[in-house]
Structure 1
Amino acid sequence: MSSPDAGEEREGPVIRDKRRIDPETGKVRERPAEQKAAPGPAAESGTASPPAENEEIDKLKAQLQERTEDLQRVQAEFSNYRKRVERDRAAVREQALANVLTELLPVLDDIGRAREHGELTGGFKSVAEALEATLTKLGLQQYGEKGEPFDPTVHEALLHSYSPEVTETTCSEVLQPGYRLGERILRPARVAVAEPGEPPEPEEPKQEQEPTAEAAGEPDSSGESGSSDDK
């Protein structure tokens, strides 16, 4: 048998090594030039996408934009609704608390008068202090001090006077303390107000002049009438 020539092609399967990593060197093999620039379908055909396909894509994009805007609008409306509900719930709670605290103000006035007269002693003192501490924890604040500037939005003037010792309208005396709950005024402080300046002097009453005898038509000392009638 004769040996095949060196230039003769061998028959049988041809094995090509397409592994990305070279098993001998462990490095990444470079891809052949023909594989790097593999043409796509559009390049192979040499034509762009048909107009009908572009219109369909634009239509889908417009629908997506519209649905996105609808979703954003619904989300904003829900967020505003949630904030409004929370705000209304807080307002209802504050109003209910204000109503309860307003009903307790006369009790606090009685406690204050008892403290001023030295009658706040024993168990009554402990109960009063516990009540005041609880109401303070709920947000009730007492205000109104002697010597503070008069503010018609939080003070109610019951008495008025003048004083050279003040430079502005001042609360000269607190007749009844005021109470507030946060920014809400439950009861204004009832005070006596003093304005700067000297008190005006009282005007003297004018004395009325008595009519003379001639003006009254009475007879004079000679017995003759003041009239000029003929006898």
Structure 2
Amino acid sequence: MTDKDFENEVPAGEDPEAQASGSDPQVDPEATNEAEGEELTVDDILGSPQNADAAAEDAVIADLESALLNDLKRLQAEYANYRRRTEEQREIEIERAKGSVAKGLLPVLDDLDRAEKHGDLVEGTPFVAIAEKLRGVAERMGLTTYGAAGELFDPQQHEAIFQAPTPGVDAPTVLEVVEIGYRLGSVELRPAKVVVAVPVE
């Protein structure tokens, strides 16, 4: 082999055209131009798996917020119901206490009514002043009376102690009130005891 042949010999694995052009045989010019012409995005740098993880975290956070909001609404509803029940129970206890006091006053009020019917309550006497004060206290408590002669007989409100057949009566009617009935608000403390006039058969 001469010196000239040695100079023209191409090393194994090298492209003669690439050697002639003087470029790197491992670099593709078109690929290089494409890479230089495109801008890298955050997704290219981080990769899609991280984006998927972020979306999953957002979904978990949204679920937790929804669950916490539902728990808060449930607690608010339970607290509102608790307050309502407490207020109702308090009102019941107040009415019960008032009823207990009012029932204790009924015999005294009955005595005042009897004294008034017999003419024992004379205007200007201390006894009349005491009676008025006591009746004022009962009225402020919400104590009311019912039952009067001439009313239609109502078994829900009146207690008939005697029935008197009376001519000209078309329906059972209160003929006489023996004992006045009392209510405290809407609660009946004592029914009115009455004599009932009934139609003659």
Normalising by structure 2, what TM-score? Answer: 0.73
Deviating runs (4+, > 4 A) in structure 1?
41-45
The DSSP-based 3-state class of the residue aligned with 2:113 is: helix
1:189 equivalent in alignment to 2:192: yes
Residues 43 and 51, structure 2, Cα contact 8 Å, conserved in 1? no
1:145 equivalent in alignment to 2:148: yes
Note the C-alpha offset of 1:44: 10
Q: Which residue of 1 aligns with 2:178?
A: 175
Deviation by residue 1:100-129 (Cα, 9 ceiling, x = unmatched): 110111111110111111111200001101
Note the C-alpha offset of 1:174: 0.7
Q: Which runs of 5+ in 1 are unaligned?
A: 1-40, 200-231
Q: Superposition pairs for residues 1-231 of structure 1, below 5 Å?
A: 50-121=51-122, 122-196=125-199, 198-199=200-201
Count of residues in Structure 1 that have an aligned counterpart in Structure 2? 157
Deviation by residue 1:7-26 (Cα, 9 ceiling, x = unmatched): xxxxxxxxxxxxxxxxxxxx
CA distance in 1 between counterparts of 2:67 and 2:150 reads 65
Deviation by residue 1:74-111 (Cα, 9 ceiling, x = unmatched): 11111111111111111111101101110111111110
Deviation by residue 1:7-65 (Cα, 9 ceiling, x = unmatched): xxxxxxxxxxxxxxxxxxxxxxxxxxxxxxxxxx77999x9882221111111000000
**Code of the aligned partner of 2:178:** L
Identity percentage of aligned residues: 39
CA distance in 1 between counterparts of 2:131 and 2:158 reads 26
CA distance in 2 between counterparts of 1:183 and 1:158 reads 24
Normalising by structure 1, what TM-score? Answer: 0.64
Q: Which runs of 5+ in 2 are unaligned?
A: 1-40
Two-structure CA RMSD over aligned residues (Å): 2.0
Between 1 and 2, higher relative CO (CA 8 Å, sep ≥ 6) is seen in 2
CA distance in 1 between counterparts of 2:44 and 2:173 reads 95
CA distance in 2 between counterparts of 1:132 and 1:163 reads 35
The DSSP-based 3-state class of the residue aligned with 2:148 is: coil
**Code of the aligned partner of 2:113:** G
